[in-house]
Structure 1
Amino acid sequence: MNTSRKKSQAAGGRRAPLDPECLALMRLVDANRYADVEAAARRILAVRQNQPLALKALGFALIGQGRYDDALPIVAFSLERNPDDPEAHNNLGIVLSALMRWDESIRCFARSIEIKPGDPEVLKNYGVALSRMHKYDEAVRFFLKAIEFHPGDYIEAIEQLGGALLSSHRNDEAWTCFNELWKNDKTNVTFLSQLVSSSLKRCDWDDLEARLLTLRSLTDGYRSLTDNPFVVLSFPGVSSEEQRRVASNFARCSIPASVLDAPDPAVGTLRSAPRSRLRIGYLSADYRNHAVGQIMPQVIELHDRSRVEVFGYSIGVDDQSELRKRLSAAFDHFVDLVDRSVIETAQRIRADDIDILIDLHGWTADGRPEALALRAAPVQVNWLGWTKPLRGGNGGAVVVLKSR
């Protein structure tokens, strides 16, 4: 989510002439000088505690600096004082999205649109949040509306539309989006990468080799590409090291730095007396009639319950199948988290004091790798649902993300 309409976000409308201090503040906002905006806004608020423009400008400055935890109380307080301000609802939605609180963010965007229908930025933000929740078909509708209401070409919304269409397997429509974007900007490597991906899905080999060579050249051997690693996985000639680079870049772009770089919470500290049984958790959206769901029942049932206590965390829909019933009965504890946020998912797993968390999803559809970035357990492992076989092996690779 970005803050492209910065002046509007900070000002929230100008019903009365601004005093010199506020005019100077707005000039800083217009120049995107976030640190200076923060300093100026705090000076005003030190004298006029609830000055609405300074409050909104301070929230804008903190968002611009990526300090979303700091921005949250400021933006929320600004909204409390101006509950009918559509831009205040949008700003809160931006902050909540950055904190991966997707359900709350879409409620903010919905309220903003209710107050002021047809705002293209809010419609785009709404669509992005829905995409991050893997509700791609719903997201497409909002991106199309954002493009419709935007004066001129809304490049950012078109790019997001193409991504949602590709994730919905609407490959011809996605190809049209990325082909037009690439034709108009031959420097944007994301456009080219997505164009190649949609071409492969359409079995369209025209110019494929030349485009791959161009992509490799523009990204210095994929060192600067931040695209979804599953897109690059399908590209011919990409090495495992290049795939790792893209995956690392993608993770850093998808999960806020405040999460990735924060000190680990106090999870899994050493106990003076070991528990009688190790607690193992399995996180998946596929406890249903799915390939992963079909593999897992016997795996769980054959755990030695004298040594381990097994938790199943479901983040997918209940298809009411016999397979679902068998899976839910196989675990010692089966927890439905489908409607919980990323943060609530991590908090629940921590509360259960899990020793080893096994993520069966990774970055595939409906997964919540962000919960692992929040350090839900002291040892976190990826397995089965997405990994490539080890060299010479037949099973999925096991990757320990981080352990104490």
Structure 2
Amino acid sequence: MTGHPAPSGPCVVVAGGGTAGHIEPALALADAVMRLRPDARVVALGTERGLETKIVPARGYPLELIPPVPMPRKPTLDLLKLPLNVRGAVKQTREVLERVGADVVVGFGGYVALPAYLAARGRVPIVVHEANAKAGLANKVGAKFAAHVAAAVPDSGLTDAQIIGIPLRQSITSLNRAALRDEARRFFGLDPHAPVLLVFGGSQGARSINEAVAPAAAAFAQAGVGVLHAYGPKNSVAVQEVPGAPAYVPVPYLERMDLAYAAADAVLCRSGAMTVAEVSAVGLPAVFVPLPHGNGEQALNAGPVVSAGGGLIVPDAELTPEKVASLVVPLMADRARLAAMSQATLGTGRREADEILARAVLEVIKK
């Protein structure tokens, strides 16, 4: 007598490729789905040129590659080729959805999400999550025929969106910075007692941040402030060590973001939606330097934290070594102000978005 095949759970396809800002919420959702439904399967869609080729397999999820459909911001030749590119990408994505037996497609925007939405339309239910303060083109398209729409903040431009924050991985939302502080500082070779500024510019680093912060190393040293500076794998920085002062530690990339947050007393960073959400969830005061291009969404992303008193905004063009020395160094030396900002930023953070979205996704499958 043959046994029945083991019942296989739902198949959730996540589409969030390109940058860490799209990939990380997709993987946080994947983790939450697996906690709620251990019998589920999660498959990620991506392209061969995005960060997902490194991040997704490292987190233990299968990755299916599809052709990218870049969204031209201006009328160019690429715009004329778009219908053809889209058609090819949609056909290949549809084949992937059929092969893996997709029960739902969850998109997070960007050039992987658009072909996923178009391939799923009318065949597989769609859930859209918008992380930014202003929705991008792909999510505006997807939201038109989605079964459920969620957004990080109100007024993103997607009507009837459930406001839930951004799905964050548990290593961030459950982070006890105080308990990990000593271990984190040993890990990076930082002074155990000095205040520490964490500096990073997104997964690829940011040249303007590097050029403003590294030359201020002596000012940090004189003030007794340590620095952990992730300058980006494609960049380099030269820092003059000051003997006897707290260490200024430059690294190309932060594999252990949880330990970096635990080691720090404040951050200087871009204000991508994901970065703002993580920094708020762990309660770090922030000096935000919004990306100067795009549609201004980075400044909008930082707005709620700054209004609450948990952060400051410095426009990219104004970020100079002198500005860092006159604004950031005194802030790092003011422990009472840092503590007040930390409390304020914690009040803006949302820690349960991953689970809220996972329940909504499973509910859509049930229907």
Q: Same fold (TM over 0.5)?
A: no
Q: TM-score, normalised by structure 2?
A: 0.42
| Greater relative contact order (Cα < 8 A, sep 6+) | 2
Highest Rg: 1 or 2? Answer: 1
Q: TM-score, normalised by structure 1?
A: 0.39
Greater strand content: 2
